[in-house]
Amino acid sequence: MAASEAAPFAKTGGLGDVLGVLPAQLQQRGIECAVVIPRHRSVSLTGARKVFEGLHVWLSGGFYLCDVWSREHSGVTYYFLDHPGLYDRDGLYGHPDDAVRYAVLSLGTLGIARHLFRPDVLHLHDWHTALTPIYLKTFFPNDPTFEGVKTLLTLHNLYDCRIAPERLPEIGLDRRYFRTDWMEFHGSASFLKAGLVFADQLSAVSPGYAREIQTAESGEGYQGILSSRSDQLTGILNGVDYAEWNPETDRHIAANYSAKDLSGKRKCKAALLERFGFPVDDVIDRPLVGVVSRLAEQKGWELVREIFHEFCALDMTFILLGSGEYRYETMFWHMENFHRQKVRAFLGFDNALAHQIEAGADIFLMPSRYEPCGLNQLYSLKYGTLPVVRATGGLDDTIDEETGFKFKGYTGQNLLGALRTALQRYESPTVWREMMVTAMGRDYSWNRSTDEYIALYGRL
């Protein structure tokens, strides 16, 4: 597998979670699996070995000289492609030379496949490694090393990297690649399109999302190519790493609890309220709505802006952990400042706090405009924190009336309606408790999804 992030080494969202656990699940079922990610600044080399020095990654007449480090994690070998000039930086994305950074990752992966780990299948993830198939098929068509190697591209999102055609030489390609049936996308050269065209199989991280992206409404312009390949596009739901996300064993939370004994959850709520400086005794019985999220347009925060005042008037306590776009950070910062008696926003990235919110909140809010799978709603189920979600993609696939609250149309009023229903339901402790227990009993472990990936590898 090759990707831009893998927990615990580098993570900005669910992609990192998946790359941190699926490989081990495969390995446990006898699939030999290794993972390649860049050696980002956050990747610690403690316990790692340098396994290759001076890997030449050739892009148009010049090369990037990389070292490769490796480390075991949950029984799986992780390779870190090291080129400090490209990867030793703050932030995984958003650099002006991202095209080159991730082209080197995509091509360097083939170097690792040649020298260190010979796979039958290259399993790629999102645009960051979407060039690997086009390099494989056009640079090395008759290379015996890669004979029979097949590629799978998994779509966790339809984010893309697009460059002007004049810049193609920077990523080792040229004008000949700028064809409508290859990389051309509305006048730019698209990494994602290259992957969608050249990978042997495609998958998306939920069946719902796999269907939605074939439509004009959600396909972001790729619906044509995606629907033309619908026979080779499978939806496979992500699973949860219950070794990491389980209130019975979680080391980050104030008290452990289970569906049989929920008493610890109230302690977690009290600890969370206290951490944020609320007068615990006064607010402990008021419903606590939590959020852990990238603050990106995808996540639906525009809807909260639409209903800002009505939202703040609801009888609830609201705690948000998030980081991302400035416009949303300032919105939540203002919300806290104007409504300190019931709102706290922690703007940053903090894994332990993410766990504490899952455990301490009563309700988890996720009003996404679109959601390829979503992991936080699945974590919420396990922690008995009932999700209020927009019925889209993986959220629609995983939340139902017995375990949470959904709204369909993408409007602030609909969000408000679903949240009000949840708050009303909270007033009936027996009904609420029954829903919590049902939610906590839902099984979204990796078992089934791992089998589905193995079946897909088998087809390849």
**What residues make contact with ligand GLC under the rule CB under 6 A?**
13-15, 18, 156-157, 205, 238, 371-375, 394
Residue 252 or 425 with smaller CB distance to ligand ADP: 252
**Contacting residue, 350, 369, 410, 411, with ligand ADP by CB under 6 A:** 350
Q: Which does 322 bind (CB under 5 to 8 A by kind): ligand GLC, ligand ADP, none?
A: ligand ADP
* CB burial string 110-141: b at 16+ within 10 A, e below: bbbbeebbebebbbbbbbbbbbbbbbbeeeee
**Contacting residue, 14, 108, 387, 412, with ligand ADP by CB under 6 A:** 14
- Tell me the residue length of the chain: 460
19 binds ligand ADP (CB under 6 A): no
The two tokens of residue 233 are 């596009």
The two tokens of residue 271 are 């600890």
Rounded CA-CA distance 273/284 in Å is 8
Any idea what DSSP says for residue 260? Answer: S
Q: Which does 287 bind (CB under 5 to 8 A by kind): ligand GLC, ligand ADP, none?
A: none
Contact track, ligand ADP, 165-194, x by CB under 6 A: ------------------------------
Answer for the pair 7, 19: CB distance below 8 angstroms, yes or no. yes
As measured in angstroms, the least distance from the Cβ of 395 to ligand GLC is: 8
Residue 82 or 160 with smaller CB distance to ligand GLC: 160
**Contacting residue, 172, 264, 300, 374, with ligand ADP by CB under 6 A:** 374
Q: What stretches of 236-394 adopt beta strand conformation (E)?
A: 288-295, 317-324, 343-347, 363-366, 386-390
Total residues contacting ligand ADP (rule CB under 6 A)? 18
As measured in angstroms, the least distance from the Cβ of 171 to ligand ADP is: 25
110 binds ligand ADP (CB under 6 A): no
**Contacting residue, 73, 294, 339, 425, with ligand ADP by CB under 6 A:** 294
Q: Which does 18 bind (CB under 5 to 8 A by kind): ligand GLC, ligand ADP, none?
A: ligand GLC
Rounded CA-CA distance 221/215 in Å is 9
For 159, 200, 244, the CA distances from 134, given in Å and listed in that order, are 18, 11, 36
**Contacting residue, 86, 134, 319, 321, with ligand ADP by CB under 6 A:** 321
Residue carrying structure tokens 């998994």: 154
Q: Which does 367 bind (CB under 5 to 8 A by kind): ligand GLC, ligand ADP, none?
A: none
Rounded CA-CA distance 342/415 in Å is 19
As measured in angstroms, the least distance from the Cβ of 178 to ligand GLC is: 28
As measured in angstroms, the least distance from the Cβ of 357 to ligand ADP is: 9
As measured in angstroms, the least distance from the Cβ of 303 to ligand GLC is: 17
**Contacting residue, 159, 242, 308, 349, with ligand ADP by CB under 6 A:** 349
Residue 23 or 133 with smaller CB distance to ligand ADP: 23
369 binds ligand ADP (CB under 6 A): no
For the chain, counts of helices (H) and of strands (E): 18, 17
The sign of the dihedral angle between the CA atoms of 244, 249, 252, 254 is: positive
Rounded CA-CA distance 55/47 in Å is 21
Residue 290 or 372 with smaller CB distance to ligand GLC: 372
Region of residue 374 (phi > 0: left; psi between -120 and 50: alpha; otherwise: beta): left
* Nearest alpha carbon to residue 365 among 332, 302, 434, 319: 319
Residue carrying structure tokens 């776009």: 325
376 binds ligand ADP (CB under 6 A): yes
Give the bridge partners for 185, in sequence order.
188
367 binds ligand ADP (CB under 6 A): no
**Residue whose beta carbon is closest to ligand GLC:** 14
Give the bridge partners for 122, in sequence order.
151
Rounded CA-CA distance 396/392 in Å is 5
Binding positions for ligand ADP, rule: CB under 6 A: 13-15, 17, 292-294, 321-323, 349-351, 354, 373-376
